Chain A
Amino acid sequence: GNSVTQMEGPVTLSEEAFLTINCTYTATGYPSLFWYVQYPGEGLQLLLKATKADDKGSNKGFEATYRKETTSFHLEKGSVQVSDSAVYFCALSTTSGTYKYIFGTGTRLKVLA
């Protein structure tokens, strides 16, 4: 079946450090891939997305590239800020049937000043 695996947290970084959060997936066909972010006390919101192999999603300095050969969609940011502290979820959606979403377990990021 379809699944998403992302690295365990928490991840603690100093401000301006480089961030990578790993995400790999298992899916049949050609899913769309997403990163969602959840700030404390809030719902999830879309951070970036990619719909086909080699697509790069980007937003607010974050980037992720859809790698079909390694079934990965790793999230990166060159210089994190305290305001990036949140929980990050990798997700895929299938385009067959009822268009369901599969979420990873989330990775908590804490950025220290």
Chain B
Amino acid sequence: NAGVTQTPKFQVLKTGQSMTLQCAQDMNHNSMYWYRQDPGMGLRLIYYSASEGTTDKGEVPNGYNVSRLNKREFSLRLESAAPSQTSVYFCASRRGLAGGNTGELFFGEGSRLTVL
């Protein structure tokens, strides 16, 4: 049961470098999300994609871009990394509401990013 897979798990960048975090889910979920987790701040939504072909900004989108490549994959790109983007990033997908389900989120294991 793969669920939600994120890569890489760890990354160190220098200020100004770019990188892409990859996320894939094998549960046929329509909606996917990118969150960042910082101490004392819980999870904050960066971007989300309600369905293939659509993306929308969350609470903290500045400095990030996303691509919903297909139904399975949702990538997050940092074009010019800054120390303030040091964080743990989580990708999640949401179960649909059909069949009485309540739309809970399924998370990947996280990607720890350090920007020097």
Contact = CB atoms under 8 A, between A and B. Distances in A.
Interface of A: 32, 34, 36, 41-46, 49, 51, 89, 93, 98-101, 103-106
B42 A93 contact: no
Interface string B12-55: 00000000000000000001010000001111010010100000
Q: DSSP class of B's interface residues: helix, strand, loop or mixed?
A: strand
Contacts of A45: 106-107
A15 B106 CA distance: 29
Contacts of A34: 104
A98 B50 contact: yes
A32 B102 contact: yes
Nearest to B104: A46
B42 A100 contact: no
B85 to A, nearest CB: 19
A103 B105 CA distance: 12
Contacts of A36: 105
A100 B45 contact: yes
A99 B33 CA distance: 11
Between A93, A98, A101, A103, the greatest number of chain B beta carbons within 10 A of the residue's beta carbon is seen for A101
Contacts of B4: 43
A100 B41 contact: no
Interface in B88-109: 90, 92, 94, 102-109
Contact of A43 (B50, B94, B109): B109
Contacts of A98: 48, 50, 56
A66 B8 CA distance: 38
B99 to A, nearest CB: 13
A51 B100 CA distance: 10
